[in-house]
Structure 1
Amino acid sequence: MEPYELIRSRRKTLALEITGDCRVVVRAPMRMSEKRIQAFVERHEDWIIQHLERQRQKAAAPPPPPTAEEIEAMKARARAELPPKVAFWSDKMGLIPTGFKVTTAKKRYGSCSGKNSLCFSCFLMNCPEEAVELVVVHELCHIREKNHGPRFYALLAQYLPDWQERKKLLR
């Protein structure tokens, strides 16, 4: 079994993370027993091995970082291509975002604020069209459902029944 770093906090659930530098991090509630944490890690051994290998491959051959000009070009493309998609899906879903922004976020492709303002990473423009559409619809769903609960995924599936296949394109 892979060694892991344990981080306890005021949370209710266990979570696994494979970091960019290929460490296994387990996040756990403050008072959860070591035995339960260990059992959780053992149950997810295959997942850990698979994702560690994927991360090691990424780390072995990282792509060169984009230049400032390339980032500006992606931002311009995002500002041109995303608003019509947001408008189309907003109309179809009967939802109205309060704002729209393009950033250079590297960890997430999109977000929806508590005030229903949508934010997209310019790096989303490197993804296939079906994946871009998924991120737009995903963030719009957050206007109605602020979390990733069953109602959120039911809403997402209502508009994009193939969302799980599209999600694979984001990786």
Structure 2
Amino acid sequence: MTDFTVIYSKRRTICAEIGPDGSVKIRAPQNMRKRDIQEFVRMNEARIVRARQKQAARAQEAGRKTLTAEEIAQLKEKARDFIPARVKYFSEQMGLFPSAVKISSAVRRFGSCSAKNSLNFSYRLMLYPQEAVDYVIVHELAHIVHRNHGKEFYALISRYLPDYKQRIALLRR
């Protein structure tokens, strides 16, 4: 396998990462030699190929195509424009103001709220209807005052999005 990108960082271990477009990124410690990286790829080639196939099958099964690098770039740009504007709108409505709003490439979660009230949103939200995106934004803003998913948390969400349960269903499609 020769089609991979190496990303050096301050990490201590090496790992392979499969991008949404099927690209392979090898994350390696800054001081790791190229031949050690190539050896890692050779030793893990079967696992990498299986992971790529599994990801493509999962995307196909879900009725979604694997996104190209260009499509991902467009979604990220759209998210950078759209999400902060919606956060500002709902922040003013709710009187809750995050310390920062960031767009990420998160795969397993649509959004998160840090202990310092910084909100993070996945660019993948742009694949969903605006009603669903608005729900995730209100959900994360609600975490500024309610750090759990208790009754008060959902009461706050319901105050601004009475149909929040239908909006959650949009995210599960």
User: Which range, TM-score by smaller chain?
Assistant: 0.5 to 0.7
Name structure 1 gaps, 5 residues minimum: 1-56
Aligned to 2:61: 61
Name structure 2 gaps, 5 residues minimum: 1-56
Identity %: 50
In the aligned structure 2, how far is the partner of 1:60 from the partner of 1:121? 21
Superposed counterparts of 1:15-164, under 5 Å:
61-62=61-62, 63-164=64-165
CA deviations 1:40-72 (Å, max 9, x no partner) are: xxxxxxxxxxxxxxxxx9677253321111111
Contact 2:111-2:122 within 8 A present in 1 as well: yes
In the aligned structure 2, how far is the partner of 1:121 from the partner of 1:60? 21
What's the secondary structure of 1:146's corresponding residue? Answer: coil
TM-score w.r.t. the length of structure 2 is 0.63
In the aligned structure 1, how far is the partner of 2:162 from the partner of 2:65? 35
Contact 2:59-2:65 within 8 A present in 1 as well: no
Q: Structure 1 runs of 4+ off > 3 angstroms?
A: 57-60
CA deviations 1:104-147 (Å, max 9, x no partner) are: 11111111111100000000000011001101111000011011
In the aligned structure 2, how far is the partner of 1:59 from the partner of 1:103? 20
1:112–1:150: structure 2 CA closer, same or farther, 3 Å change rule? same
Indicate the RMSD between aligned Cα atoms, in angstroms. 1.7
In the aligned structure 1, how far is the partner of 2:91 from the partner of 2:111? 15
In the aligned structure 1, how far is the partner of 2:75 from the partner of 2:59? 24
Aligned to 1:39: none
In the aligned structure 2, how far is the partner of 1:168 from the partner of 1:147? 20
Report the number of matched residues. 115
What's the secondary structure of 1:143's corresponding residue? Answer: coil
Tell me if 1:169 matches 2:158.
no
CA deviations 1:88-113 (Å, max 9, x no partner) are: 10011001100111111111111111
Could you tell me which amino acid in structure 1 is paired with residue 113 of structure 2? C
